[in-house]
Amino acid sequence: MRILATQLRRLGVVPGDRVAAYLPNSPHAIIAMLATASIGAIWTSCGPDFGTRGVLDRFAQLAPKVLFCVDGYQYGGKPFNRRPELAQIIAGLDSLEQVVCLPYLNTSDRTPFSRPTVFWDDLLAARPVPKSEFKFEQVPFHTRCGSCSPPAPPDCPRPSSTARVASCWSSSRPLISRWT
């Protein structure tokens, strides 16, 4: 997480910037979310099974600076290539400065997208910043119900929740407290 957070800073992400993810539920998504939160940036995500219009409706209103994405996913043993949809999503987000691609479906395909593209494993190949030099931003981290776009509909059972990510200096792990 420290390596990715440091690399996000090197890509120009600062507290308050938005980082979006078009990722499946995977350890990669958790690592990217924690790295984003640790530097005070705003995180938003949706799965690669979402349609192009739905993704653009969610992401365009936030104007993300960085997009984490996969080339596709598998469901029920069947592969779903999402590169054509992803090309439309990237083209529809004028605010994007960087795309971070995780070759997930076809691990050997390192074809970049129309925006500057860096690959997940290239980012993580950097040397880690020593713990003593890494600075966690002490800012609130807000989340929304994953099934609702703002504003949440009145019948949403979980219209919003808030989580605060803080660093615990006596431990190497961030503490996450959550309430609704």
Closest by CA to 69, choosing from 23, 133, 1, is 23
Handedness of CA 160, 13, 86, 21 (dihedral sign): negative
Reported as a single tens digit per residue, the pLDDT across 78-135 is 999 999 999 999 999 999 999 999 999 988 889 888 779 999 999 999 887 888 777 7
| H or E segment and range at residue 38 | helix 27-38
What confidence tier does 47 reach under pLDDT thresholds 50, 70, 90? very high
Helices within the chain (DSSP H only) = 2-10, 27-38, 52-60, 83-92, 120-124
Handedness of CA 122, 128, 133, 135 (dihedral sign): positive
Say what the pTM is: 0.77
Strand order in the sheet with 174-179: 140-143, 161-167, 174-179
Q: Cis (ω within 30 of 0) for the bond into 130?
A: no
C-alpha 143/C-alpha 42 separation (Å) is: 9
In percent, how much of the chain has pLDDT > 90?
Answer: 61
Which domains does the chain show, CATH number per domain?
2-135 (3.40.50.980)
